[in-house]
Amino acid sequence: DAMVIQNPRYQVTQFGKPVTLSCSQTLNHNVMYWYQQKSSQAPKLLFHYYDKDFNNEADTPDNFQSRRPNTSFCFLDIRSPGLGDAAMYLCATSTNWGGSETQYFGPGTRLLVL
């Protein structure tokens, strides 16, 4: 059974057109993460939520926003996608932050910007 679900799996958007990626989890985990993974690169953490507390990485562009309306769902909003934002976006969850907490990843959404 899928535990971390991402929709859609593939998303095509136009340059400058806002886009929202979705993640949901059935694990009831406190923490949800969004990573950006560009081709042949390591996944890079954009931000994470601990419950409702939002934590932005220092170098995450302002173009990226996130919402977590409840425990199960988390959204990634890209306000004005540029060509450089084309990447795989990975959602992950963990019970708590840090320590021995294993992160469970979804299958990712591949974003293409035309």
**75 makes contact with other proteins (CB under 8 A):** no
**1 makes contact with other proteins (CB under 8 A):** no
Residue of 74, 90, 111, 113 that binds other proteins (CB under 8 A): 90
Residue 6 or 16: which CB sits closer to other proteins?
Answer: 6
How many amino acids of this chain bind other proteins (CB under 8 A)?
23
CA distance 114 to 65: 21
Residue corresponding to tokens 């035309």: 114
**41 makes contact with other proteins (CB under 8 A):** yes
The answer to whether the Cα torsion of 31, 43, 6, 112 is positive or negative is positive
CA distance 39 to 29: 29
**30 makes contact with other proteins (CB under 8 A):** no
